A and B are shown apart, each in its own frame.
Chain A
Amino acid sequence: MPALIATGLRKRYDRITALEGVELTVAEGEVRGLLGPNGAGKTTLLRVILGLVGADAGSILLLGEQAGPERAVPPGVAGFVEEPSFYPYLSGRANLEVLAEYDEGGARERIEEALSLVELTGRAQDRVGGYSSGMRQRLGIAAALLRAPRLLLLDEPTTGLDPAGVRDVGRLLRRLSGEGVAVLLSSHQIGEVQDLCDSYTVLSRGRIVWDGTAAQMRAQAPASSFCLHTSDDGAALTLAAERPDLAAAQAHVEQPGGLTVSGDQDSLDAFVVALGRAGVAVRSLELAADPLEAMFFALTGEAQSNVGSGESSVP
């Protein structure tokens, strides 16, 4: 039985539709990425799943139990929404002790292990008020681990973490999923989670616009796109238009101009050589979006950070 089944979820705030017809399933041992730009509805969906907000329609089953604002989160379900929050006047350990009081089972016995797993043992006696954002994030993960989770719901868990912290969280989640823990991981950057996730659900404006496995996404993803700066962007655009294996768009918004070029590696090599022969100097060529990011942007209708709104597709 899947750890999480959400069916037909709808949530509106006044005239704003936060969620509409959301269906979501997370199986045991699966790490599912919940993707979407800011305001897509990821956090609202997590709030609804955790019972912080009531859905206008739909149902949620967490580990086989009906969930909602009137009910307690079932044992074995853990997670956090937005940045984890704690009592600043208490130490990290005391915060976990307070949270363990709310929990059934042997949460108290897991405090030291959880602190050790997130490498906070040395700072556990310090008041949380003095913690950095990354340390609070680690404490949030520790707090979730106290519940011996079988379903983890994490809202951008790597926010504020240094690269080593991101790596450690990734390892931890991989280990947990290997033990059968289902993980739902929200992010607005697919690059952060693509090494972790087995599957993705992409949200845009409260609706699911794509749902499938990581393999399916890679198969459907477009070619990589690159940002190209030349000595003569107009000539470069004309040359790109003559090559059917390339797609190019001229960017205007981000200074200092340049082109966005999509294509496989061989086509791109040939294009660069052609530019040289035509007397157009290549000043820089950078990866703008990898295939998954490109797909994410395409699905969510979001412009890439270095691509303007006045794009013209070539050909």
Chain B
Amino acid sequence: MSLLDVPPSRPVRVTAIRGTGPLTHRLMEMGLIEGAVVEVLGRAPLGDPLHVRLGDYELSLRGDEAQFIDVAAT
């Protein structure tokens, strides 16, 4: 399951990051790596981007990146 399919308010654990490119690398540098716990808090009014909590802080990222982040229930 990718991060894009996660329903709101259910924390999940990152299992793999399939994306490449500078933004995916930056996401990893910001702590979104295998084993990190992520929670989708909601979506922007127009459906994209996603509002997620990553560890101690919150982040806005697009479905473009989220679809390549594999997650599993914690």
Q: Do A and B bind each other?
A: no
Residues of B within 8 A of A (CB): none
